Amino acid sequence: MRLTNLPVEFKKARPVLQRIEKAGYQAYFVGGSVRDTIIGVPIHDVDITSSAYPQEIKQLFPRTVDTGIKHGTVMVLYHGHGYEITTFRTESGYQDYRRPDHVTFVRSLPKDLKRRDFTINALAMRENGEVTDLFDGLGDIKRKVIKAVGNPDRRFHEDALRMMRAVRFASKLDFKIEPKTLEAIKKYSFLLTKIAIERVHSEFVKMMMGLKPRMGLDYMIETNLYRYVPEFKDQLDALKRISKIPHLKLTNECQVWSLISYEFGLNRHQINHLLRQWKSADKVIDDTITTTRTLRAIHDHKLTPIVIFKAGLTRLMDANHLAILLGFGDQDADLKKQFKQIPIARKNQLKINGGILIKGHILAPGPKLGQVINQLELMVINRQIPNQEPALLTAAKKLSK
């Protein structure tokens, strides 16, 4: 098979492959970029594999970075772009169920493709668009199937994260997992505990933001993978509820965790605990707590100006998106109108601050100062006083006593 009308990402990288080939080595585009181009999914970057060893690549290009030279990967800097080039290799010994203990560089493309996870990812393409398919990956793309390369037991025992990648690809591409591959995931699901949670976290969020997150969740439940991720083991009923939400579509990580937190029935402390277990970023935790609180307010018809102010427009829209999915949301336009009607949208819009209160000898630095500022905010939001400095100073004097 030969692909034509290749995406611009391939065209920009073509001279890199041509230079490698001109020096007598083989070079191919490989993996997800080839797969997605065949499927018709937009790509954002390309991976390159070559028979040239890392030192040979470095001799061919004046500007390189050793991004993973131990495993055969060198980044070539070419015309403002960075291209990671990995030497053909074989792998052996996976004591940590994630990374090989031994990597051997080889000159054989078939040996390299044989070590890859799924047939749809074991596709290599020359710079002219000619595709090498040794494991019927093209056929599996047509059949919309996720199938392990070779023995699925061996693939998952080598790298247990591949099990999460399988359900992620099923969600992303709307593909089914091939029966033998699925059985192997069921057999080795417990090995997921061997994988760093940061890696599992990345795959899970991508799965939930995929084309068919319900399918991904169903596979996690069917294979018992859900039992081996933090805080999910005792939440089977909630996970099943999520997997039954019609037209489930999540567009950011905050929506993912807010939906989970809402369906799990978590309070702010429990949300914090859950996301700390998943090694989430502090901002994600804060945004999830805010969005979940706002989602509950929408459900309970308690979306007050204070709640809207504390949410901010972005989190308000995230919460309403989830509320619509769950069947009790409002019109986005109505909520945006309510947001615009709040006297202040952000803390820094208050016409007074701590510095003014200190300078006017109304309050000294300390906890009381922050408490008064917060009270003034609430009074302005609830239209008890106008957002004007004279009125705020008068109110601050009363509150300071």
pLDDT tens, per residue, the chain with 401 residues: 899 999 999 999 999 999 999 999 999 999 999 999 999 999 999 999 999 999 999 999 999 999 988 889 999 999 999 999 999 999 876 666 666 678 899 999 999 999 999 999 999 999 999 999 999 999 999 999 999 999 999 999 999 999 999 999 999 999 999 999 999 999 999 999 999 999 999 999 999 999 999 999 999 999 999 999 999 999 999 999 999 999 999 999 999 999 999 999 999 999 999 999 999 999 999 999 999 999 999 999 999 999 999 999 999 999 999 999 999 999 999 999 999 999 999 999 999 999 999 999 899 999 999 999 999 999 999 999 999 999 999 999 999 98
Class (C level, CATH) for 144-229: mainly alpha
Q: For residue 89, which of 65, 75, 70, 76 has the smallest C-alpha distance?
A: 70
**pLDDT of 93:** 64
Say if residue 276 carries a ligand binding annotation. no
Q: Is 116 annotated as a binding residue?
A: yes
The pLDDT of residue 70 is: 86
Residue 241 among known ligand-binding residues: no
The verdict on whether residue 162 carries a ligand-binding annotation is yes
Q: Does 282 belong to an annotated binding site?
A: no
Domain locations along the chain: 1-143, 144-229, 250-342, 348-400
Residue 45 counted as an annotated binding residue? yes
Which pLDDT does position 401 carry in this prediction? 82
Domain 250-342 part of CATH 1.20.58.560 = yes
47 is in an annotated binding site: yes
* 1-143 maps to CATH 3.30.460.10: yes
pLDDT for the residue 99: 67
Q: Is 159 annotated as a binding residue?
A: yes
Q: What is the pLDDT of residue 97?
A: 63
